[in-house]
Structure 1
Amino acid sequence: MTQLLIEGRGLSLTRQGTAILSNVDIHVGAGEIVTIVGPNGAGKTTLVRVLLGVLAPDGGTVTRKPGLQVGYLPQKLHVDPVLPLGVRRLVTLTKRASRAEVDAALVEVGGLHLAEKAVSGLSGGEMQRVLLARALLRRPDLLVLDEPTQGVDQTGQAEFYELLRTIRDRRGCGIVLISHDLHVVMAATDRVICLQHHVCCAGAPRTVAGDPEYRRLFGPAAAEFAIYSHRHDHGHDLHGNPLPCDHDHGHAHTHAPTASDEVRP
């Protein structure tokens, strides 16, 4: 049986007479990727803050594994461009670590070549990998990522989510994603929770993609974006440039269909 990492039951939160969360149930187990989707203002980030103990709910309970270690990637991290901050320093700002530990974390996210760069010179995709390395230094039982590919191009999004699956498989940690990148995330996750202050629907990606509530929130085309995938015989670098590789090492690659793509049923 999968080890339970965190669970919320009947979570409710009201602010200024408006229900932000209403009787929300959620649980995340070890080795599971759970994605919370919903329109802007649906309460996604608030739900995560309640789960992590940053906010206290008005109703309901939260249960966490004793000693739960959490690695968190914020939605946006502003770094003053005039601040002389290097990647190694950023990675160790909130946790002391040896050079070898920092390098190992950067290797795991494919970012060792960024180690000596200034943070101000990083692209969006590079920054997210550095922040992920920073989170991994905590040896987390649970990774929480809030809109992790905001500002990253479509190819970079798919590569980042593929990296998350690899980390999950290697470490056995649980992962919670908050995202609007439905065309990529739905195929990269084990379970989806569709939130609009309450849980509209939840389950496996294909189940949620066909749910009337999901289609009502995101439109009928959302289901096609959610389940489309194909295979490549190449990889990509952090900027989305193709990298040739053997046919035997091609990888699954999910993206939104374009006019030239054949959408599979």
Structure 2
Amino acid sequence: FPGILMAYNDDKQDGQKLVLPYNVSSTEFLMYENDKFSKSRGVGIWIDDALELAPLDYWRFNLIYNRPEKADTSFLWSEFDNNIKILNDVIGNFIHRSLTFIIKQFNGKIPKKLEFDDIDKDFLSKISSIGKDVGETLENFELRKALRDVVKFAREGNVYLNDKAPWHLIKQNKDAAGQVFNICAQAVYALAILLGPFTPGTSERILNYLNVRRDLNELGWNSISTESLVVDHKIKKPEPLFQKLETNELQDKLNQIRGIKKEKIEEKEMITYED
């Protein structure tokens, strides 16, 4: 191998040399309920079984959120339950509240902006920087941190909504309430792009609700800004992005799936050495 590299570099007339790996992504081990994965012992969940239990994006989110980047981690059903709550109560809640309010109070059109107060400016600053920050983190192969930063951003969106309380503000000043949801709509767009590397199916659904008719792969971090969605842009009525799952029921279903597969294996006719 070293000889091949030397020959490759010596053969280059333009002086360009082979670019060697400069940052190699690796992980530690993933366990299952603090035990090693073992198909023979029935320890773990396999992808075909997993997809019968929950949608793909739920598994993608959970595995990346707890990715063993610097130390061994373990898949725990209790953590899976907590991560489903994050999807529903943090990400899904912010997006659904924001878009539903725009549909009901502003005829589905992005409202106009007025003058910003300090709370507005603080959240707008986070919208402006989040794409670059998450992108750089991913470039360093820190997938776990990047996803947790996206979740943190969604939490900040919920805090912003609660601090501004536009459901009260609209009773005195509809335009002021509209500005809040203009800003929230920009944050929802940001989340659609930010979630792309982690939960692409969810990202595409968000873009559809936002009526953004561009392929997710065409939209990069640079498309995230405080002006991603223009005033009067028409959005669609959203459906809840996620659903709550009972992990006890999932475990029972997993045991049923394994039982059925075991029965099928036992039913197979075995061939003897004499045959």
* Same-fold call, TM cutoff 0.5: no
Measured against the shorter chain, the TM-score band is: under 0.3
Q: Scaled by the length of structure 1, what TM-score is found?
A: 0.26
Which structure is larger by alpha-carbon Rg, 1 or 2?
Answer: 2
Larger % of strand: which?
1
